[in-house]
Amino acid sequence: MNTPYTPGIAAARLDRDTLSENFDDLHAPLKSHEAMVAADRCYFCHDAPCVTACPTDIDIPLFIRQIATGTAEAAAKTIFDMNILGGMCARVCPTEDLCEQACVRELAEGKPVEIGRLQRFATDTVMAKGVMPYTRAPASGHKVAVVGAGPAGLACAHRLAMLGHDVTVYDARPKAGGLNEYGIAAYKSTDDFAAREVEWLCSIGGIEIKNNMALGAELKIDDLVGCFPAVFLAVGLGGVNALSVYGDDKGGVEDAVSFIDVLRQAENLTTLPVGRNVVVIGGGMTAVDAAVQSKLLGADNVTIAYRRGRDAMSASRYEQDLAASHGVKLLFNVMPKAIHGNGSAAEVELEYTATKDGKLSSTGEAIRLPADQVFRAIGQTLTADAGLKLEGRKIAVTAAGRTSRAQVWAGGDCAAGGNDLTVTAVAEGRDAAMDIHDVLMGGK
């Protein structure tokens, strides 16, 4: 983040108690009797549409029935069989656009079964006991390298370890977890849950994590392929797109990703500087997370400026409404034209847009908003492709995650074809692990 001494940006706009309350758990966990009542609403559909809508194919009616019969640990096992990061996904997955949107109760009554909260209830029950419900298969004698300790990498590592392989996970950051640790709004993952989930996941054994090891710097793909019979790349998207407008380099203009990163790692939120007038450029989940957290830190006015209409925003309607409920203003059909100020940002000039035949164009009209802090949230880019074939701006892969190079698989946000969701990354890591296992054991 930029210096807190930039005019208009200051720390401790709110006292510590208020900040603690503001950043409390977004959705309080269900108590036992609440979980039983919520589970009782499930119709336990045959060919349940919620299962089809889940990227990890969890048997949702089964785990809800298990909760309803008082066997939460069995429910957790059902979840973890398909999604070993089911605890985090229960907190951050856009269930309103996936399983809960497909729920028959949602279609009939406009109020779905609370699948996400029930999933959290089950997974938290097991994790609170420190129980790892899996044991390793006999040692296979094979060693696999995983580059990136985010959702895809961790899911891949766990499944490989469970199958008897030894796994070395390399990560560029000081702590494992990837997006779960550094990139998710603090009110969605409280009490250091991401770190505790990594520790729990690695308790299966056979997984070694080496931090501060980045692909392309400390790690060379040729060296990895030479040392390991299989390599899984889950390096995410480390770069952030620039605004490419006048004033993008002024003080107070920064990446939303970096802002969220610093906030997530802060031990004392009163030390974090925030502007009085904050403008976030973008329309995805990162934009919403940055905007809402700016408001929670004490910003007076926060605006999300998005170049297209509401329906085109990649952030779900639920997330949009969440932002609005916290006092964030959503401004549509505007794109940045310039950032004005004497050395530091003071105003953002936005140009109105129109869409015709799918193409975005400027209308020639513009407005200016006060802005002493501007966050870029217009997409992230791949920073290390290991010389592999690309599809667009991501690594080209088959359905099982195989890349253009033998012995190398890829998954998660760095791989083409996904939707940049935690739950999808988990599915891709899991499926790549199964394909790697088949190859190592001579099956393919």
Q: How many structural domains compose the chain?
A: 3
Q: Are residues 245 and 350 in the same domain?
A: yes
Is beta strand 277-281 parallel, antiparallel or unpaired with respect to 373-376?
A: parallel
Phi, psi of 410 (to 5 degrees): -150, 155
Q: Are residues 291 and 223 in the same domain?
A: no
With respect to residue 14, please indicate whether it lies within any of the assigned structural domains: no
Amino acid at 421: L
Q: Are residues 350 and 391 in the same domain?
A: no
With respect to residue 11, please indicate whether it lies within any of the assigned structural domains: no
Q: Which residues of the chain fall short of a pLDDT of 50?
A: 1-5
CATH number for 187: 3.50.50.60
Domain ranges, residue 52: 32-128
Q: Are residues 51 and 87 in the same domain?
A: yes
With respect to residue 165, please indicate whether it lies within any of the assigned structural domains: yes
Instruction: Among 376, 410, 427, identify where a domain stops.
Output: 376
Q: Are residues 249 and 232 in the same domain?
A: no
- Position 4 scores a pLDDT of 44
- Position 398 scores a pLDDT of 94
Q: Are residues 255 and 223 in the same domain?
A: no
Dihedral over alpha carbons 101, 107, 109, 111 (to 10 degrees): -10
Extended beta strands in 127-284, E state: 143-147, 166-170, 207-210, 230-233, 239-240, 253-255, 274-275, 277-281
How far is Cα 290 from Cα 180, in angstroms, rounded to an integer? 15
- Position 3 scores a pLDDT of 45
Which spans in 163-312 are helix H? 179-182, 193-202, 221-227, 256-265, 285-297
pLDDT tens for each residue of 338-367 = 999 999 999 999 999 998 888 999 999 999
- Position 444 scores a pLDDT of 56
- Position 443 scores a pLDDT of 66
Amino acid at 177: G
Q: Are residues 77 and 148 in the same domain?
A: no
- Position 2 scores a pLDDT of 47
pLDDT tens for each residue of 39-52 = 999 999 989 999 99
Q: What is the pTM of this model?
A: 0.95
